[in-house]
Amino acid sequence: MAENNSNTIEERDLLILGSGPAGLSAALYAARAELMPLLLTGMILHGQASTTDTIENYPGFPEGVGGSELGQLFQTQAERFGAEIVMDMATSVDLRQRPFVIKTYSKEYRAKSLIISTGASPKKLDVPGEKALTGRGVSYCGTCDGWFFKDKDIVLVGGGDSALEEGLFLTRFARSVTIIHRRDSLRAGALLQKRAFANPKIKFIWDSVVTEIIGDDAVKAVRIKNLKTNQESIQETSAVFVTIGHRPNSELFVDQLELDELGYIKVDKYMHTNIPGVFAGGEIADPHYRQVITSAGMGAAAAIEATRYLENLEDTE
Ligand code: NAP
């Protein structure tokens, strides 16, 4: 999408960036505080959680709830109290000016306060063939793309909770799922490990990394290197699912906000960034928990703090 240089300027008390659990919870709380918040959804409506097949650990849903269904419920609840949700994304921000200036593809916004909940994106392997074959067998979302590989043999890279969750989900479609992990023990929690080891469709290749993805118009194989023996081998596969963690979507804030060494926005326990009036919540500020419930809690806290900030601002104006 090209940036639109339209001169339309809209002023707001509070702008929220991102439509995952943090952003939508912030929108709900801010709407109920009558701040009339405007939320820009970003590229992925309802965030990463919406690409999860079933969320089993969000309280209130004892049988689990679909990721996209939960996202829609969050949105409906926020809108019911007056939050305005717009399909657009920030292309630049200027936090040195007040009000803050946020440009999008179609508009320029001026906001007295800002909540950033732009989340994180899947990390890439950065190996030959990955980019060219993305969408042709290379995928970062099993829930989205698993269906295309019915009765196929597929490969998945990673050893954390996401890898095993995705791997287990993919066994619904695939004939076999080979999980390639760079160490000889998994990072994932015990329950997921137990389920994965018990699943006859899942195999593991330990101490190994993918060094190349091979194919022309579709994935055909991966080149694998054993890190202990340095031996290389080729494994035929119809797909490569990459689930090796995430990186924060904080590019817009480099040189404007304090970030940690991994690029996550630094916040105090009240979701304040180093700039008064700018708050952050959810995975953009949390490399540690990254759960729907913790993100939702951070978003709610950010909105409560933004409400207090705007009240104080009014008193001093
Ligand atoms: P993660 O815990 O950071 O795991 C990433 C995995 O990918 C690790 O096993 C890591 O190997 C491997 N890895 C990283 N870079 C790699 C590379 N360049 N090449 C090959 N392998 C690489 O990420 P995650 O699984 O996405 O989980 C993120 C957070 O969300 C965690 O806190 C997790 O508990 C949480 N989560 C929870 C649930 C749940 O509760 N059901 C579900 C999903 C995620 P090493 O182990 O060697 O570092």
- Among 140, 187, 243, 289, which residue has the most ligand 1 atoms within 8 Å of its CB, making it the best to mutate? 187
- Among 121, 244, 286, which residue has the most ligand 1 atoms within 8 Å of its CB, making it the best to mutate? 244
Residue nearest ligand 1's atom 28 by CA: 245
Q: How far apart are CA 192 and CA 131, in angstroms?
A: 30
Task: Note whether 289 and 302 are same-domain residues.
Answer: yes
CA of 187 to the centre of ligand 1 (A): 7
Which residues, 6 or more positions from 69, have their beta carbon under 8 angstroms from its beta carbon? none
Record the tokens describing residue 164, joined without a space: 């095993």
Task: Assess whether the C-beta atom of 244 lies below 6 angstroms from ligand 1.
Answer: yes
- The residue among 242, 275, 295 that closes a domain is 242
Task: Assess whether the C-beta atom of 292 lies below 6 angstroms from ligand 1.
Answer: no
Task: Assess whether the C-beta atom of 224 lies below 6 angstroms from ligand 1.
Answer: no
pLDDT at 2: 40
Task: Assess whether the C-beta atom of 167 lies below 6 angstroms from ligand 1.
Answer: no
CA of 48 to the centre of ligand 1 (A): 15
Which residues, 6 or more positions from 305, have their beta carbon under 8 angstroms from its beta carbon? 270, 271, 272, 279
For every one of its 317 residues, what pLDDT tens digit does the chain have, with 9 covering 90 and above? 444 445 689 999 999 999 999 999 999 999 999 999 999 999 999 998 898 778 888 999 999 999 999 999 999 999 999 999 999 999 999 999 999 999 998 899 999 999 999 999 999 999 999 999 998 999 998 887 898 999 999 999 999 999 999 999 999 999 999 999 999 999 999 999 999 999 999 999 999 999 999 999 999 999 999 999 999 999 999 999 999 999 999 999 999 999 999 999 999 999 999 999 999 999 999 988 889 999 999 999 999 999 999 999 988 87
pLDDT at 54: 82
Q: How far apart are CA 211 and CA 126, in angstroms?
A: 9
| CATH, residue 57 | 3.50.50.60
Provide the H-helix boundaries in 63-160: 67-80, 142-145
Of the CA atoms within 13 Å of residue 116, those in its CB half-sphere come to 33
3 is a domain residue = no
pLDDT at 178: 98
Q: How far apart are CA 231 and CA 178, in angstroms?
A: 18
Task: Note whether 145 and 236 are same-domain residues.
Answer: yes
For residue 145, indicate whether it is catalytic: yes
Measured on CA atoms in the order 14, 15, 21, 24, is the torsion positive or negative?
Answer: positive
Task: Assess whether the C-beta atom of 161 lies below 6 angstroms from ligand 1.
Answer: yes
For residue 126, indicate whether it is catalytic: no
Task: Note whether 146 and 291 are same-domain residues.
Answer: no
Task: Note whether 144 and 208 are same-domain residues.
Answer: yes
Look at residues 37, 39, 49, 1 and name the one whose alpha carbon lies nearest to residue 18: 39
Pairing type for strands 219-226 and 232-236 reads antiparallel
Record the tokens describing residue 146, joined without a space: 């698993």
Query: Rounded to the nearest 5 degrees, what angle is found at the Cα of 73, between the Cα atoms of 69 and 76?
Result: 135
Task: Note whether 110 and 13 are same-domain residues.
Answer: yes
Look at residues 191, 190, 166 and name the one whose alpha carbon lies nearest to residue 52: 166
Task: Note whether 271 and 128 are same-domain residues.
Answer: no
Q: How far apart are CA 39 and CA 272, in angstroms?
A: 19
Task: Note whether 128 and 230 are same-domain residues.
Answer: yes
Task: Note whether 213 and 258 are same-domain residues.
Answer: no
Of the CA atoms within 13 Å of residue 54, those in its CB half-sphere come to 9
Residue nearest ligand 1's atom 15 by CA: 244
Q: How far apart are CA 277 and CA 280, in angstroms?
A: 10
Task: Note whether 186 and 283 are same-domain residues.
Answer: no
pLDDT at 135: 86
CB 83 within 8 A of CB 30: yes
Give 57-63 contacts, CB < 8 A, sequence gap 24+: 57/291, 57/292, 57/293, 58/292, 58/293, 59/293
Task: Note whether 144 and 234 are same-domain residues.
Answer: yes
1 is a domain residue = no
Domain of residue 155: give its range.
124-242
302 is a domain residue = yes
Task: Note whether 224 and 131 are same-domain residues.
Answer: yes
CA of 243 to the centre of ligand 1 (A): 7
Task: Assess whether the C-beta atom of 157 lies below 6 angstroms from ligand 1.
Answer: yes
Report the number of distinct structural domains present in the chain.
Answer: 2
291 is a domain residue = yes
- Among 55, 57, 58, 162, which residue has the most ligand 1 atoms within 8 Å of its CB, making it the best to mutate? 162
Choosing from 53, 88, 145, 286, the catalytic residue is 145
45 is a domain residue = yes
pLDDT at 181: 98
What region, left, alpha or beta, does residue 33 occupy, with left being phi > 0 and alpha being psi -120 to 50 degrees? alpha
Task: Note whether 135 and 178 are same-domain residues.
Answer: yes
- The residue among 210, 225, 242 that closes a domain is 242
106 is a domain residue = yes
**Structure pTM?**
0.81
Q: How far apart are CA 56 and CA 230, in angstroms?
A: 40
How many of the other CB atoms lie within 10 Å of CB of 216? 10
2 is a domain residue = no
- The residue among 187, 222, 242 that closes a domain is 242
Residue written as tokens 């913790």?
Answer: 294
Q: What are phi and psi of 303, to 5 degrees?
A: -70, -40
For residue 141, indicate whether it is catalytic: yes
178 is a domain residue = yes
